[in-house]
């Protein structure tokens, strides 16, 4: 996947521009039938504007004067045109080309950089038909169930207190997402809500217009292979430059020599470029230490804020609830 997305997005812009130019033609045709006076004014404005432009190439004694005269005539005609349109209940720019994005004028670029609307198109294209799209719909903050976390004082803090404090940090993270350079590491037993919470965050950030990419660590390794052996630059661009990369289930990937080296290089480059990551893992800190080389481990400990999830397996609790409801 994700090959040729740039081409597809550029095609979409081309289509938008074509649609808008057709719509303008339609409006002009209508105006010719129904507002001939305005069409006359437009023609006059066009003629005067051309004259004005040609002034630069002509040697004339009274150039300044002619320039001023033409300019004020054009301004007056424009005013007259707008008045006529507004009188008819139309927008003053009814007979001008419309842009759906006023920043990039539907080109996708502002200068040499990609416009925000390009990113939005990329997100839509990227998440079209993806499983993650279904996950985001299913897992949202409003469905987050604090009651599944025990209040028992046998642990300090209790799983409930613990998750409440994690939720608060996560809210703040989302609120300050633009400014923060923080990376997050969620760890804890399976089934304590790490993936659920990462997905809630992804949904929230995507809604705010950020480009979040979700990968299991295994699919990330597959992607890194694809990049290395097939020169898939577009894929690298997505993984490297997205606003947040979620790496789920770190530790479940096959730890080949390739995986270890590439994973380290990748994470390291992202850290150097200050590209945010959220990693979740079922491994304990000790497991992480023994599974990964010192250099990966020390990046994870030094450059990520650690959140330890606690509690019983929520999936078991939910299933038990379902059984009770059925029984
Ligand atoms: Zn734009």
Residue 116 Cα to ligand 1 midpoint, Å, equals 6
Q: Say if residue 201 is in the same domain as residue 312.
A: yes
Q: Say if residue 169 is in the same domain as residue 297.
A: yes
Task: Give the best-scoring range by mean pLDDT among 30-39, 48-57, 137-146, 288-297.
Answer: 30-39
Residue 101 Cα to ligand 1 midpoint, Å, equals 5
Residue 96 Cα to ligand 1 midpoint, Å, equals 18
Q: What per-residue confidence (pLDDT) applies to 311?
A: 84
Q: Say if residue 221 is in the same domain as residue 298.
A: yes
| Residue ranges making up the domain that contains 166 | 130-326
Residue 107 Cα to ligand 1 midpoint, Å, equals 7
Q: Which residues surround ligand 1, an ion (CB under 5 A)?
A: 101, 103-104, 115, 117
Q: What per-residue confidence (pLDDT) applies to 320?
A: 82
Q: pLDDT (tens digit, 9 = 90+) per residue, 141-193?
A: 888 888 889 888 788 889 999 999 999 999 999 999 999 999 999 999 998 99
Does the structure show a pLDDT above 70 at 296?
yes
In a domain, 59, yes or no: yes
Q: What per-residue confidence (pLDDT) applies to 254?
A: 82
Residue 121 Cα to ligand 1 midpoint, Å, equals 10
H helix intervals, the chain: 5-34, 36-55, 63-87, 116-127, 131-138, 159-175, 194-207, 217-230, 233-241, 257-272, 285-291, 294-303, 314-326
In a domain, 114, yes or no: no
Residue 210 Cα to ligand 1 midpoint, Å, equals 15
Residue 79 Cα to ligand 1 midpoint, Å, equals 29
pLDDT, greater one: 113 or 26: 26
Residues near 132 by beta carbon (within 8 Å), at least 6 away in sequence: 199, 202, 214
Residue 170 Cα to ligand 1 midpoint, Å, equals 30
Q: Say if residue 50 is in the same domain as residue 179.
A: no
Q: Say if residue 159 is in the same domain as residue 289.
A: yes
Q: Say if residue 134 is in the same domain as residue 14.
A: no
Does the structure show a pLDDT above 80 at 86?
yes
In a domain, 253, yes or no: yes
Q: What percent of the chain has pLDDT over 70?
A: 98
Does the structure show a pLDDT above 60 at 1?
no
Mean pLDDT in residue range 205-219: 90
Q: What per-residue confidence (pLDDT) applies to 27?
A: 96
């Amino acid at each position: 996947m994700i090959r040729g997305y740039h081409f597809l997005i550029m095609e979409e812009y081309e289509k938008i521009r074509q649609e808008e130019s057709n719509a303008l033609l339609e409006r002009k045709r209508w105006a010719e039938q129904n507002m001939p006076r305005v069409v006359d004014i437009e023609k006059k404005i066009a003629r005067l504007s051309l004259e004005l432009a040609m002034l630069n190439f002509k040697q004339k004694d009274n150039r300044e004067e002619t320039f001023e005269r033409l300019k004020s005539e054009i301004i007056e005609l424009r005013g007259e045109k707008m008045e006529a349109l507004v009188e008819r209940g139309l927008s003053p720019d009814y007979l001008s080309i419309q842009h759906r994005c006023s920043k990039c004028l539907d080109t996708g670029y502002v200068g040499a950089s990609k416009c925000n609307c390009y990113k939005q198109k990329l997100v839509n294209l990227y998440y079209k038909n993806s499983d993650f799209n279904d996950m985001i719909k299913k897992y949202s903050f409003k469905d987050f169930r604090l009651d599944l976390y025990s209040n028992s004082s046998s642990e300090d803090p209790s799983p409930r207190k613990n998750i409440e404090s994690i939720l608060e940090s996560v809210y703040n993270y989302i609120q300050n997402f633009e400014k923060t350079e923080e990376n997050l590491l969620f760890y804890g037993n399976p089934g304590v809500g790490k993936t659920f919470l990462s997905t809630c965050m992804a949904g929230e950030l995507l809604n705010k217009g950020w480009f979040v990419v979700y990968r299991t660590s295994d699919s990330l390794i597959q992607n890194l292979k694809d990049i290395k052996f097939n020169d898939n630059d577009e894929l690298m661009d997505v993984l490297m430059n997205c606003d947040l990369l979620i790496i789920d289930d770190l530790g479940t990937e096959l730890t080949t020599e390739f995986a270890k080296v590439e994973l380290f290089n990748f994470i390291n480059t992202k850290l150097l470029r200050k590209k945010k990551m959220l990693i979740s893992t079922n491994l304990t800190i000790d497991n992480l230490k023994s599974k990964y080389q010192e250099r990966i481990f020390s990046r994870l400990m030094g450059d990520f804020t650690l959140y330890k999830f606690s509690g019983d397996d929520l999936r078991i609790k939910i299933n038990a609830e379902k059984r009770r409801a059925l029984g």
